Amino acid sequence: MRISSRIIADLFVALEPLVIAGTNTWELDSFAEDFIRSRGAKPAFKGYKANGLPPFPGSICASVNDCIVHGIPSKRKILKDGDIIGIDVGVLHSGYYSDAARTYAVGSISEAAKRLMDITLRSLEIGIAMSVPNNRIGDVSEAIGSFVQANGYNVADNLTGHGIGKDLHEEPQIPNMGISGRGPRLRAGMTLAIEPMVNIGTNKVREIGWEFSTEDGSLSAHFEHTIVVTDGEPEILTKY
């Protein structure tokens, strides 16, 4: 998992100069797939099957503006100055998965978009900090959700983080809203993918095929890390 996580972290850095106005999301996907395979790994999302949908066609999820998550890469989706784009990546190496997401600014973005990205990233950091032995999943969820709401935003309804390891999605689910003291207890050695998805407007989600978007068309940001719970502070495996 350290190896697969390092690949994601390096990919996020390599993608940064490519996330510019005029680039389409298919080009970002193609670059990501080549990058992952060049490291002797496989893109975990490509061909992924769930909920009776056709296999996911991309190596990344490329979610622009009001698309919360699972945006399908497309030559027709061309980035514009002022957009924000969440790029979610999974990597499989030697039988172990890692998963992370990062939201990028395209050119010069609005102050509202900057603040949304900042609050979303900070909520992830707060959730990770709560991921210590003897805390419960509800402690992580409550820390994320209460911080987001205190800043006037909403977490996307029914979209959660998850355990990860030999499978891309494992138990436990990690909601971005919860009640302290509830849920499974955390133990050293657990590996988790924590991923707040935060909307400027409503928490309600519109689902079309793979893609989840905000019901009111407001902006959404997404940050995610794969971490390991240790006897001390949690370790961020996908840190870039």
Q: What is the pLDDT of residues 134-163, one digit of tens each?
A: 999 999 999 999 999 999 999 999 999 999
Range 189-195 average pLDDT: 98
Domain edges within the chain: 2-236
What pLDDT is attached to residue 74?
A: 98
**DSSP secondary structure letters along 99-136:** EEEEEEE-SS--HHHHHHHHHHHHHHHHHHHT--TT-B
- The tens digit of pLDDT for each residue in 168-183 reads 999 999 999 999 999 9
- The tens digit of pLDDT for each residue in 98-130 reads 999 999 999 999 999 999 999 999 999 999 999
What pLDDT is attached to residue 202?
A: 97
What pLDDT is attached to residue 178?
A: 97
Q: What percent of the chain has pLDDT over 70?
A: 100
What pLDDT is attached to residue 198?
A: 98
CATH of 2-236, one of 3.30.70.20, 3.90.230.10, 3.40.50.300, 3.40.50.2000: 3.90.230.10
Q: pLDDT-derived band of residue 184, with 50, 70 and 90 as boundaries?
A: very high
What pLDDT is attached to residue 147?
A: 98
Tell me if 69 sits within 8 A of 30, measured CB to CB: no
Displacement of CA 208 from its chain's centroid (Å) = 19
pTM of the model: 0.97
- Look at residues 99, 86, 28, 102 and name the one whose alpha carbon lies nearest to residue 58: 28
Tell me if 222 sits within 8 A of 63, measured CB to CB: yes
Q: pLDDT-derived band of residue 31, with 50, 70 and 90 as boundaries?
A: very high
Distance CA 131, CA 185 (A): 10
Residue 212's identity, in one-letter code, is F
Range 24-32 average pLDDT: 98
Distance CA 172, CA 15 (A): 30
Q: What angle do CA 116, 216, 211 make, to 5 degrees?
A: 85
Average pLDDT, the chain: 98
